A = this chain, B = another copy of it.
Amino acid sequence: MISTHDSALQSWLDEELEGVVSRFEAELSSELSCVNWLSSYVQRYRGKMLRPSLLLLAGYATSEGGDRVSEAHRVASTVVEMIHMATLVHDDILDEADLRRRGATINHLRGNEAAVMLGDYLISHAYHLCSSLEGTWISRAVGRVTNTVCEGELLQLENRENWSLDRRTYLEIVRRKTGGLCGLCCWLGGALWRGTPAVPGRDDSGVMGGLWRFGESLGVAFQVADDVLDLVGEEREVGKTLGVDLRKGKLTLPVIVYLSMLEEAERGSLIETFSALGEMPENEFEDVLRSLRGQIVASGALDAARDEARGLLAVGVEEGLGGLSEGPAVRALAGLSEQVVDRWV
């Protein structure tokens, strides 16, 4: 779970997140035992519940007295968690990953077919649950964001083995793939109090647009941190298959930065190595990965990637939280953005 460093707020949040878990289970429950087995297995994928936490905290931060959050906030938190879980299940197929949260992935355990369908089952239930909320604008906003998430994934696929991928395109992929859903969470936290149709988006100049931009920048920084961990983390600590990005031909920010620091000949030779990674035997791959880590850290490219994400995040905090009245939830949101950065230290 997310840590808020505020014991009263923390027990409120923990209790709300337990409620999210219960709603999650109730929504997925089926008459068919084979479906229930998969639904309960996927609960192992649950992490720190960043997305529902963002939604609930943004709801609290924008509540005007009375309840901290509404029933709609609770349902919507379950919806975003379910969408996130669906993306994890389908991502593991894309990555051919065997390990997630220290356990076997669904595709590893039951084959790609079951993983495709389980992901679809989660997506379907997410929309089904979402449409139990009053106001079609909520489903509309969620649909708009999931459209963007898929576009981000497709753009990333298109750029596999594109060894000249630039920062701008990388950040565009990440903004769509991860930023949008976190932006939506923070935006919904505020928007669900209003109960009126509204267009979600980062371009809104008011408090709501600020919340969106805060969530989006947090999501982007979170993804950059994830990409950094894939490169320099320890498999045992991170709990999932590492080095997957490079092996699948995905360039991430620290690698992009490092490549841009090299002379043309060196760059060419490294790209040649990258192109061969897909077919390389496991032990040889480990050696290449170890050596590359050393070079990237020594060159300062890792620090540069961190600084870029820190910069984005600082702007998001300023723009998104600046307009809100001080209080425990706003402090917790600001704290969360610190934690995102801390992940990679």
* Chain A contacts to B: CB under 8 angstroms: 30-32, 34-35, 38, 90, 93-94, 110, 112-114, 116-121, 123-125, 127-137, 139-140, 142-144, 146-147, 149-151, 153-155, 157-158
Contacts and interface: CB of A to CB of B under 8 A. Distances in A.
A112 B140 CA distance: 28
Given A112-B112, A116-B116, A136-B136, A124 B153 contact: no
A137 B132 CA distance: 8
A154 B123 contact: no
Nearest to A153: B117
Given A94-B116, A113-B93, A128 B140 contact: yes
Nearest to A136: B131
Nearest to A39: B154
Contacts of A116: 90, 93-94, 116, 119
Contacts of A146: 120, 124, 127-128
Given A127-B139, A131-B143, A146-B128, A154 B121 contact: yes
Contacts of A151: 30-32, 35, 121
Contacts of A120: 90, 119, 123, 146, 150, 153
